[in-house]
Structures are given as structure tokens and as C-alpha cells.
Amino acid sequence: MAVDAAAPPATGDTAVLTDEALAFVGELHARFEPRRRELLAARAERRARLQSGERPDFLADTVSVREGDWTIPPVPNALADRRVEITGPTERKMLINALNSGARVFMADFEDANAPTWSNLVQGQANLIEAFAGTLSLETEAKTYALKDAVATVCVRPRGWHLPEAHVQIDGEPVAGALFDFGMFVWHNGQGLVDSGRGPFLYLPKLQSHLEARLWNDVLSFAEDRLDLPRGSIRATVLIEHILAAFEMHEILYELREHAAGLNAGRWDYIFSVIKSFPRDPQAVLPDRAQVTMTVPFMRAYTELLVSTCHRRGAHAIGGMAAFIPSRRDPEVNEQAIAKVREDKRREVADGCDGSWVAHPDLVPVVAEVFDEVLGERPNQLSVMRDDVSVSAGQLLDFAIPGSSVTGEGVANNVAVSLRYIAAWLGGLGAVAIFNLMEDAATAEISRSQIWQWIRHGRVPREQVRRVIADEAAKLEGTPHLAQAIELLERTALSDGQVEFLTLPAYELLEAVEA
């Protein structure tokens, strides 16, 4: 088996891309790549059935799992209190600031908040090695950045099963991004994290079925055995980011059992999954993105089901993202936005959530205060069982939002966010501040797929969107990678066919940019 890291040198590559680490990734590829491909083929078949009118339901052949009286093992002490989690890429400065932010957990992201340039991926892994050793620092002309004595617990999010890593070839074919990200992380840090009692901990993205969770469970078990780590030492929180996964929450936790830690309400990708799963259904046409809040009926059903499922199984329920970026220039904007954040988080903690996400360090104390009021000295709310919750398939699939609409302002915002984000992504940035919100690949997916959906269902004329793109492009004249961003937006939003993931054609462009 020939493992070739066919890429230009990157900062940190001597620490990360060792022969032994690459060989381990090769082992993961040889053992699990065939099943990954089978599951991706099963995804495509299921998607075709949905687009032909099939509607999902709770699985008939796993009733015993849903009705069974089982729980996951107790969550490790280092992950017991998750009342505020901050997310972001593994860029050096962001990593230091996030670890020092006062959040209980930092999700180190190789997925939606990361543009997968080779440099970002390799340097990110090198930064994590230094962070776990306590030696990560940064010197700039203006400031010295160093880790505090007490830092956030780290959960690493590898890429989803569908994304390739073209820079690492195994017998001439690209390795899965998920296996590269996980393999490098656990090879270099697994034993040290076990010894310190701080992991290894993961966030698993984009799962669509319990069979995909089963694959992850087998990967984690193999890694533990191969690296002489105790069984069950790797613990994973799964992002429920797809409507199909919402029907299989019990089954996903069951498949991961000894490796499970909780579920997270990945709200942005969940909305995106509705758009791409039911493209022909006029009842699934969603209004302006800003109107699809966590209080609309189908989102409310999904999050209440998540809390109920998690606590019945002894797993953490983590709430959705607060994406607002506080402005030091506009106190009025801050006051209004932070009031909305507080309202959102009060709803989550009242629902029984054990913690929630923020995208900016300045929101950590805001969300901490909300959870502190309810939790006090308790680490979580696992005792809040939510026996009152009973969610039907019909509730999960009822996409009606009374009083909502598609507006010109919504079209303009989606175009503006898409162009700015794609251009920044092609320049190597995965988490981008746009209009006081931290945007990532998931929000870009919503933005461009809503345009496609609105055109398909006659809510917005295609030519109107073209005019908006031209107007927005004029405002962005001189922005690096703008022409490529326009082309990609038009290809994924204006074409007749539905493009499943923006990040797949974007990755091809990114490779060309890097070359």
C-alpha cells in the first residue's frame, strides 16, 4: 500500500506528516474506504427516493432500539460541563483566543469553519499538537498570545464522510477527509489526551443515518485497539444536521454507545438539508433565512426531540449556534442582538439543553450567565428527562411557517453572503464575518440553495437574481477570487439541476487556486 502526501510543503508538516502517521491513515483507508463508498451510494439512492416523493419516517426495524432501556456510559469529567462551547478553525490566533475565552469546550473545526487548503489542514494539526502540549503561542508586532493555565476542553470536528482529501493519495486515490483529519489528530494526540483525562473528544458532522454512525464507531474502536488506547476513551458528540438523522437519533447514539457523548442541534445544516431533500415539494419552500428561527414549528419539534432523546440515554444535548459578532463601534446593534441571543439561549436552557454554541469570545459570558442562572453548580441537566415531549414524523415534516415570505431583501442578503463567503473561502478562510454574523460553509449552503429553490418554485425570477448578482459584484469590485465566486454561485444556484454540496465544486476550485 503506497501512501503519498502529494502536496507542496506546509508549515508544521514535519511534525504532522510523519511516515508513521501517514501509514496509520493508510490503514484506516484500507479498512474503511469500501464501506464509506457504500454508504455514500446509499445516500444517493435515498436522496433520489426523497426527490421522487418518498417521505422519511421513524425506522420500523429499529423499534426495539427506540423503546429499549439502555444508556451510554457516563460522560468523562473533562466533558461533564459544557454550558458554553465556542467553535472555530484551528488557525493559531483563533485557537489561542478560543481556548482562553472562558468557554468550557472549544470545537476545533476542520469542517464548515475551515477552508481545506493544505496549509490550513497541516498547520491546524500542528497547532493542536502544540496546544495539547501547552506550548502554543504567537508573537505579533502588537501583541503576544499565549495559553492561560485553565483552557477549554477540545473537541475536534473532522470533515464529513463525503469530502475528499486530494493531497493524500492511497494507492493512487484520494483519502477521505474524515479519515485524514481524525487519523492525524488521534495518532499524534490520542495517548497524551487519555493520560491527561481530556479526551480524545470529537464532533462528528453530516451523518444521515445510524449506519454512518456505525462506521464511525468501528473506526474509533479500530483506532483505540491499534494505538493501545482504552476502549471507549474516544468520545464523540454527533451533530444532527440532516433531517434524516432527526428520525434516527436513538439509533445513532446506540451505534456509538461506548463512544457517544451527546447530540448537537446543527441548525444551519439542518435547514439546508430540508431544502435539498425535498426540492420538488412546494410545501418545503422556506422563506427568508432570517425568518427560519428555532421557534418555527419544524425546528422546535427537532430540538425538543433532541433533548428528550439525549437525556433518556444519558447523553448531552447541546443547543445551536449564536452566530452574532459583537461590534465595538455600534452599541445599539450590540444591545439588540445580544438581547436576541439571551432569548434564544433562555429557550434552550428551559428546554433542558446542557450547553450551547457561540462563534465569538465576547458572547461566552453572555451565554454563560444564562446557563449559570439555571445550572448553578450543577454541570448539566441530564436529570431533566422531558417526558412531556412526543414528536411525530408529521411534526418534523411540517415546514409551514405562518406569516413568512420570500422578499427581495432576502434574495439580496443571500447573494451578498454567498459571494463574500465563497470568495473568502477560496482565499483560505472558512469562518468569515459578514454583516455582524459569523458565516461558515453551512450558512453559505443555505444562502445559495434557497436561491435555487425559490427560482425552481417560481418565487423569484432567475433574471432578478442575475441582476442582484451583478449589483453585488459591482460593490465587491477588486475582491480576490470574485470572478470564481460569481461563477460558482451561478453554477450552484441558477442551474436547473440541484448541486448537493457547494463545497465539492468549490474544493476543485480551491485546488486550482493552491496550484
List the end-to-end C-alpha distance of the chain, in Å, as a whole number: 26
Assign 144 to helix, strand or coil. Answer: strand
Element (H, E) at 263: strand 260-265
Instruction: Give the pairing of strands 437-439 and 137-139.
Output: unpaired
Separation of alpha carbons 88 and 97, rounded Å? 10
Q: Which of 217, 208, 125 is nearest to 167 (CA)?
A: 125
Q: What is the largest CA-CA distance in the chain?
A: 62
Q: Which of 157, 267, 386, 448 is catalytic?
A: 157
Annotated active-site residue 157? The verdict is yes
List the one residue out of 383, 269, 362, 402 whose CA is nearest residue 316: 383
Q: How far is the C-alpha of 505 from the C-alpha of 318, rounded, in Å?
A: 31
Residue 133 cell numbers, joined: 502540549
Please confirm, yes or no, whether 198 is among the known catalytic residues.
no
Q: What is residue 17's three-state secondary structure?
A: coil
Q: Which residues in 153-259 belong to E strands, given as ranges?
A: 153-157, 164-170, 173-176, 201-204, 235-240
CA separation for the pair 131, 315 (Å, rounded): 27
> 335, exposed or middle or buried, with CB in 10 Å at 0-12, 13-18, 19+?
exposed
Name the residue with cell 478560543: 98
Which residue type, as a one-letter code, is found at position 455? I
Please identify which of the residues 13, 269, 351, 440 carries the catalytic annotation.
440
Q: CB-based burial of residue 147 (10 Å sphere; 0-12 exposed, 13-18 middle, 19+ buried)?
A: middle
* Long-range CB contacts (within 8 A, 24+) of 439-444: 439/323, 440/112, 440/113, 440/268, 441/111, 441/112, 441/113, 441/502, 441/503, 442/112, 442/241, 442/266, 442/268, 442/269, 442/272, 443/268, 443/289, 443/323, 443/417, 444/417, 444/418, 444/502
CA-based nearest residue to 349, from 381, 322, 327, 379: 381
Backbone angle region of 388, left / alpha / beta, with phi > 0 → left and psi within -120 to 50 → alpha: alpha
Residues assigned a catalytic role? 157, 440
